[in-house]
Amino acid sequence: MSFRVLAVDDEPDVLGLVETKLQKAGFEVTTATNGQEAVERAVADRPDVIIMDVMMPKLDGLSACTQIKAQMGESAPIIILLTARGQESDVVEGLSCGADDYMVKPFAPRELVARVNVALMKAGKSDIEF
pTM of the model: 0.94
Counts of helices then strands in the chain (DSSP H, E):
5, 5
The strands making up 28-32's β-sheet, listed across from edge to edge, are 28-32, 4-8, 49-52, 78-83, 101-104
Q: What percent of the chain shows pLDDT beyond 70?
A: 96
Residues of the chain with pLDDT under 70: 1, 127-130
CA angle, 30 then 34 then 37, to 5°? 60
Give me the CATH topology for the region 4-122. Rossmann fold (3.40.50)
pLDDT for 129 equals 56
pLDDT for 64 equals 98
pLDDT for 128 equals 60
pLDDT for 98 equals 96
pLDDT for 127 equals 65
